[in-house]
Chains A and B, each alone.
Chain A
């Protein structure tokens, strides 16, 4: 049986301007309910010069409320993501465009868009619109951002949540989206819940209020809404520091400088490789990485509870602001 679905832009009469991780998305759809689901992403105002991509989403068929596991593949300038047989997204990096067909059930599922699809969209399409997804947490204090990078399991989420609990504003615990806007490096969060492994309960008693669930990567974890972690959740900030977090068995907290070359090399090695067809995007990405390497870069290692690192970092940032040499 063949099911043919034609997406005719003339039939997608509802238009919305969204702002996602700093990039403007021009959404066209046939569904008022999808527009309502995405209202929290609506851009207050859109400059004509803003980086933009377009999204055409046809909503048809009722479908199941349970999202099927995602399946991703990509080659050259095309990436395809399906969530079961009824929800299909085609990302065209060359034309900065996403075409999709989703069910009514998915269209009204804010959880799907906020936590799954829009972060995926920026992960896939980011390079095409000047946004670099970086595997780093981000917190901010008095407008100055701190990026916390590290391998999976290094403790980015734990440290960023501990910092947020100590008065830092919270952006993200795992992925942060970086862009150069008006010559300035900006970090954007997507407001997704923080993911903490079950053993984090020993550091954060408030987790007892939550249940351990199954995260997207099929790991058991607490998923805590960003608003419940910090007094203030920010959507963007200007990063000043870049910390490379490493697990340590050495007692105490240790901070040592990292050269711009080391920082550049780390980020280049940790971001997704792009195919040769996307050479322009690779150039744009290099420009963002160059800006990252100009931040104040440090290696951070600590042993013991995250509060150990928080106390040391509070002193470290205070000294840095006052120009005290470390």
Chain B
């Protein structure tokens, strides 16, 4: 469990450092990714295209945390879609939320969910909702 400077435990994992940052195009979206997971960053790099000159486009900010403490869950995927937030729950330990208005996607990934599954299965379910 991480602890913030004041000594109060960071129960929500809000302040997990994310040292891997990259910009790329994924499924047609200009994505600015930050993550604590080197494997996910590498897989995203393989799956995406190098960033071209997209200075006119507003990027989708993606912050994804590999969450070592997340509980294992079933394979059930639930998508809860009250505009403008769309939340995806896989089991109970993997949760991703897309803020369609702000073009921000945050997520916590359970250890057992492979990077490829995140990229190929989970993210497309959310990216479909980006206006």
Contact = CB atoms under 8 A, between A and B. Distances in A.
Interface of A: 1-7, 9, 56, 68-69, 71-80, 82, 84-85, 88, 90, 92, 99, 101, 268-273, 275
Nearest to A75: B106
Contact of B80 (A1, A7, A71, A76): A7
Contacts of A275: 14-15
B1 interface: no
B87 A90 contact: yes
Contact of A75 (B7, B65, B71, B93): B65
Contact of A76 (B8, B13, B81, B104): B104
Contacts of B82: 6-7, 9, 56, 90, 99
Contacts of A85: 73-74, 76, 78, 89, 91-92
Contact of A79 (B8, B12, B92): B12
Nearest to A4: B79
Given A76-B63, A268-B6, A5 B80 contact: yes
Interface size range on B against A: 35 or more
A2 B79 contact: yes
Contacts of A101: 80
B89 to A, nearest CB: 6
A71 B71 contact: yes
B65 A269 contact: no
A9 B84 CA distance: 12
Contacts of B91: 85
B38 interface: no
A1 B91 CA distance: 11
A7 B82 CA distance: 5
A325 to B, nearest CB: 34
B113 to A, nearest CB: 14
Contacts of B8: 269-273
Interface in B61-111: 63, 65, 67, 70-71, 73-82, 85, 87, 89, 91-93, 95, 97, 99, 104, 106, 108
Given A72-B12, A73-B67, A88-B87, A80 B95 contact: yes
Contacts of A6: 81-82
B75 to A, nearest CB: 7
Contact of B89 (A69, A72, A88): A88
A73 B104 CA distance: 16
Interface in B13-63: 13-15, 63
B116 interface: no
Contacts of B75: 1
Contacts of B108: 73, 75
Contacts of A7: 80-82
Given A73-B108, A270-B8, A5 B13 contact: no
Nearest to A84: B92
Given A76-B104, A82-B89, 6 more contacts: A2-B77, A68-B92, A99-B80, A269-B7, A273-B4, A273-B15
Contacts of A1: 75-77
Contacts of A9: 82
Nearest to B65: A75
